[in-house]
Amino acid sequence: MEITLNSGYKMPIVGLGVWRMEKEGIRDLIINAIKIGYRHLDCAADYRNEAEVGEALSEAFKTGLVKREDLFVTTKLWNSDHGHVIEACKDSLKKLQLDYLDLYLVHFPVATRHTGVGTTDSALGDDGVLDIDTTISLETTWHDMEKLVSMGLVRSIGISNYDVFLTRDCLAYSKIKPAVNQIETHPYFQRDSLVKFCQKHGVCVTAHTPLGGATANAEWFGTVSCLDDPALKEVAEKYKKTVAQVVLRWGIQRNTVVIPKTSKPERLGENFEVLDFELTKEDMELIKSLDRKYRTNQPAKMENGEQYENGRYKSMWNMMPQHQIKEQHNALVMNKKIMSILAERDAAIQERNQAVSAKKEAVAARDEALQQRDKALSERDKALIERDSAFAALQHHENSLNFALSGGKHYDGDDGFSSVHKLVAFPLSTIRPEVASTKRKKESKRKGKKVGEDLNRGVAAPGKKCRTDWDSNDVGLNLVTFDETTMQVPLCTCTGTARQCYKWGNGGWQSSCCTTTLSQYPLPQMPNKRHSRVGGRKMSGNVFSRLLSRLASEGYDLSCPVDLKDYWARHGTNRYITIK
């Protein structure tokens, strides 16, 4: 994984720092690092091991372990060489056995008394005071750094340990913008404002001491290490990683390059395996809350008027505040409170998620129950439809086939009306009240009509018993002679009672109170009609009956054919020509 610099070159996002590495073991350490996959080495003239690093690189190139173009090598200009930039760079190239540097940095923003190119001897004066060269400005030093690019000695140039204001000044007076600002930054010393300022202006941030003083050496790093933080330990346990891997991953996700230092071969692989997982947004915010403004890398200290100098210099703008150590305890207490609050929040979130899951399960169970209910209702409706269809078919069948269960009357030629035997055949179906009421109204209306006398009685054969299909007011054309041996007493389909209410019509027997055709009854021995209509248009039975009654009252002999031409001529129409 690489990051592109403003110079156009790519720099691996994970590197290996070689500060304070022992000369005896540095060769094996670098060879093993290259085998693991490291392609970024961070050196400096002040580390006093450039020659040993050069020997390891030469061996790696000769054995084909890696090519020069595949490595990104950084080294730094020391404070005492600010007035001899080109000579110092060539000296570093010679020790590293390289033709060019990928990145050359100004190690600290201060120029001290020159002690010789390539040397990092003490810059303390005879009086014990740090001897600062006031004749060399940072701007002059930077313009000499720019010459290295045009000479082809370096590809990119940058700064180190510059704050916001010094970085701003460098951007203002530079012709070639600094590609990198290497600073101390870790969870306890995050420096967000400086990091964001650099990234906003295209300056890549490299984090030295990215593990926050893992050795907790009082001389250089103070006494507190972020690797002992309980919150970071919980995050590491969550991802099944070490605290160091979590801290390095946090730096990478801030878009900073990390260059952890280790002299232990077993830690090389651990520090490099930080690209196979990613911290969540919540975990990034949690680590962000751990910032204590606690600087661990202290190249020089000034306390109680005394100055301690070990070949390094730290300017006053970059010093740790004196009250910081006193605030460490308060910071730890506050951190515990914050962790407690975060733990409560996480517990509440977990409970909420469990409740949401339970709700989803309940909703799913409810939906399944509703589907089963709908299916059962559908099956019930289907069964009801089938039942209703069966009932309708059965009722229709019963209405057409049932016989009378109650007695009626028949006509006796001599004695009048007498009882009719009760017949038991099929059970009667229930007639709906509204249907029966309608039929009774029609029957009453029909009975209320005044009709003529029964013309068929006069012409009926002697000794034959005829039954009428009306109880009282009879229409003479509708007498039916029944043979008791071959026919049963008819049942009125409208009223459900045994009565002679059938007459012979077109196609079979017809009820006198409805127009239902009942062709299942056989024809009578004697024709129902003593008269027939010949010619003319069709006329209903009632109209024809009234016509016959009127003709009989006017004296026409209906026992023989009657020519109605004169009759219809008088009435202005011609419906039937002849009645016979």
Q: What's the half-sphere exposure (Cβ side, CA atoms, 13 Å) at 181?
A: 28
What tokens appear for 130 in the block? 């740090």
What tokens appear for 114 in the block? 């020159």
Region of 216 (left: φ > 0; alpha: ψ -120 to 50; beta: rest) is left
Q: How far apart are CA 61 and CA 73, in angstroms?
A: 14
- Tokens 């060269």 belong to 133
Q: How far apart are CA 144 and CA 153, in angstroms?
A: 12
DSSP for 94-155 reads HHHT-S-EEEEEE-SS--B----TT-----B-TTSSB-B-TT--HHHHHHHHHHHHHHTSEE
DSSP for 153-197 reads SEEEEEEES--HHHHHHHHHH-SS--SEEEEE-BTTB--HHHHHH
Q: How far apart are CA 578 and CA 568, in angstroms?
A: 11
Cβ–Cβ under 8 Å, residues 502 and 495: no
What tokens appear for 351 in the block? 């409970």
Whether 47 is catalytic is yes
422-to-145, 485, 495 alpha-carbon distances in Å: 135, 15, 17
Cβ–Cβ under 8 Å, residues 419 and 409: yes
Region of 448 (left: φ > 0; alpha: ψ -120 to 50; beta: rest) is alpha
Nearest to 87, CA basis, from 117, 61, 115, 67: 117
- Tokens 């490299």 belong to 206
Strand order in the sheet with 16-17: 16-17, 40-42, 72-77, 101-106, 154-160, 180-184, 204-208, 257-258
144-to-67, 157, 183, 543 alpha-carbon distances in Å: 29, 11, 22, 135
DSSP state, residue 372: H
> Active-site residue among 38, 47, 294, 567?
47
Cα angle for residues 55, 59, 64 (degrees, 5° grid) = 150
DSSP for 490-533 reads PB-TTT-SB---EEEETTEEEESSS--EETTSPPPSS-S-S--E
Nearest to 17, CA basis, from 300, 258, 313, 299: 258
Helix axis angle for 243-253 and 230-239, nearest 10°, is: 90
Catalytic residues: 47
